[in-house]
Amino acid sequence: SRPLPPQVLPSFTYERCLLPGASVRSLWKEYALFLEGKGAVEDARGVLARASGVFFRDCAPMLLYHAQFEEAHGGLDAARALCAATCALPPPAIDAYLAAANLERRAGNTDGMRAAFAAAVDALRGEPLAALVRHAAAVERKLCGDHARGVALIESAIAREPANELLWDAALECATSAVVPAAAGAGDSPAYQAAAALLERMIAADSPLPPPARRRAWLRYQRLVDDYAGSVDAMRALKRSRDEAGLELTLDSEVPESAVPKPLPKRKPNGMSVDVSMGGGAAQPSPSPQQAQAQYTPEQLAQYQQYYAQYYQQQGYGQGYYPQQ
């Protein structure tokens, strides 16, 4: 038989490899990249068409890879068709809708980008939906200068999943992005009023959020008023509302871990610390408060009492661990 020409031999080798390895996605990509690097764009397009149209019709990464190839070589219509096919794959994936929106953004088609975001709101659920609307609102605000459209998109998502706290968090982030602290004597800005109105909806008695989420909303409301309100009256009014609701917002889960003192180490008679958690000794049961006090001299106990009293007074968490004598 006659030998193959040098320019044909690599393609022949790839085709031979695909006979047993057609299910290997990276092989198709490598084959297409080789042809593209040689300037054989149409041949590379044919390879990717075989991969995405036959062997990997239900594989989102391959479809999106082919879409990027088409976009890079001016085939916007083909790229849009591939992105649409990816979005139609079950279950709905945020990457597919982001790819479609970003394709339209790069093409300068703002309406197409917004259509992709709207389709994603209809298809996605849960955390992916919250992540997408958060991103979409940021794009509207930063790229298009249309803050109101981003707010409307998040509200449409909340209407679909009113109990999704992540969506409310995205709405609050969008609302507070334009809030600045009020100057002395200045009234509250419209951005502040919008954020406060959103938080009022989150803490309302008929709020769709579960009780733990409403308590977290109260904390966020308190921080908003403390940091941005133009009058102390707003702070006092919020405190009265909180008291009327019977809420105590100093939750243990809200106390930073670094603010909670670690237990005192056990000590040998010579005063050296012993940390049994690091190995070298068997774990011992936790001592009672009376046993803990008996391990220290009166001078040491008095010193620790003074330290913890000062620490807890500074942090505002109440009395120290050791009782007063």
Nearest to 91 by CA among 117, 118, 126, 115: 126
Structure tokens at 312: 């807890």
Q: Are 308 and 320 in contact (CB under 8 A)?
A: yes
What is d(CA 36, CA 25) in angstroms, rounded to the nearest whole number?
Answer: 17
- Could you list the beta-strand ranges (E) of 71-129: none
Q: What is the pLDDT of residue 290?
A: 55
What is the predicted pLDDT for the residue at 7?
Answer: 54
* CA angle (76 as vertex; 29, 129 as ends), nearest 5: 80
Asked if residue 64 lies in contact with residue 99, where contact means CB atoms within 8 angstroms, the answer is yes
What burial class does residue 50 get, using C-beta atoms within 10 Å of its C-beta: 0-12 exposed, 13-18 middle, 19+ buried? middle
Residue 88 reports pLDDT greater than 60: yes
Residue 296 CA: distances (Å) to CA of 175, 274, 309: 54, 14, 17
Q: Up-side HSE of residue 64: CA atoms within 13 Å toward CB?
A: 18
Q: How many CB atoms lie within 10 A of CB 61?
A: 12
Range in 163-172, 241-250, 269-278 the model is least confident about: 269-278
Q: What is the pLDDT of residues 103-134, one digit of tens each?
A: 999 999 999 999 999 999 999 999 999 999 99
pTM tops 0.75 = no
Percent of the chain clearing pLDDT 70 (strictly above): 71
Residue with tokens 């001016």, as numbered in its chain = 74
Provide the percentage of residues in the chain whose pLDDT is more than 90: 58
Whether 195 and 175 have beta carbons less than 8 Å apart is answered as yes
At residue 71, the pLDDT reads: 98
